[in-house]
Amino acid sequence: MVSFDLRGSIKPIVTTFVLAFVAAPHATVSQPVFSPAAPDSPRPIVEKIEELQSLHGMQSPDLVNPLTALALWYQERGEYDLATAAIERTRDVVNVNFGLYSVEEALLLWRLVQIDEARGNVEAAWNLEEEVLALVKRYPTDLRRVPILREIAKKRMDVLTRYQTGESPPQILLGCYYSESLPDGTRSGCNAGNR
């Protein structure tokens, strides 16, 4: 008779889940460490960025937090173009310092998802969300991914609930399989679009 001691192989998994559930309720997605108490002007953040660039260069990893804070400052005020520009600049710094496809980049992409949703650009937000999912799947033991996965799960459950109550959320493509074909090859009554 063969016996297995599963306690040794399950312990790391259980530990990861316990840490995730203890840490996750208190964490929020992509919070910058640098937070100058929400000033009325982005000037203090910009000055910090300029100081770090002059001291350590344009691609210094020290720029990640203040650039993220600047993006958050713009996002909170509804200046989505400037927020997007700050996030893209931060992504450049992250890619140089942490490599392509890092969890740090996933956190920034998640911020872009939120911006696209605020703009009402559901398709772009959905596509970015898929990109974020692909990125975080690369790091199964990194706890920074837990808040992102929770938010995505909540959003997807909301879409499913809306669909089950008879709505047609734009995130769900039903297609036009059963609609009537027209002579030009299109389908009548099909409004699924490219979503």
What digits encode the pLDDT tens for the residues 96-116?
A: 999 889 999 999 999 999 999
Model confidence at 186: pLDDT above 50: yes
Q: Which residue has better confidence, 176 or 1?
A: 176
Separation of alpha carbons 65 and 78, rounded Å: 20
CA distances from 171 to 123, 124, 168 (A): 7, 10, 8
Range 22-134 has CATH code 1.25.40.10: yes
Q: Which contacts qualify for 33-42: CB closer than 8 Å, 24 or more apart?
A: 33/65, 34/65, 34/66, 34/68, 34/69, 35/69, 36/69, 38/73, 38/76, 39/73, 42/70, 42/73, 42/74
What is the mean pLDDT of the segment spanning 35-60?
85
| CA end-to-end distance (rounded Å), the chain | 56
User: What's the pLDDT score for residue 167?
Assistant: 85
Share of the chain above pLDDT 70, in %: 68
pLDDT tens digits along 119-160: 999 889 989 999 999 999 999 999 999 999 999 999 999 989
Alpha carbons 126 and 35: distance in angstroms, whole number: 29
What pTM was estimated for this model as a whole?
A: 0.67
Residue whose tokens read 């039903």: 174
Which residues have C-beta within 8 Å of that of residue 136, sequence separation ≥ 6?
A: 103, 106, 142, 145, 148, 149
Q: How confident is the model at residue 5 (pLDDT cuts 50, 70, 90)?
A: very low
Confidence of residue 170 (pLDDT cuts 50, 70, 90): confident
Residues 6+ apart with CB under 8 A from 90: 63, 64, 67, 68, 71, 108
pLDDT at 78 exceeding the cut of 80: yes
Long-range contacts of 126-129 (CB under 8 A, 24+ apart): 126/171, 126/195, 129/155
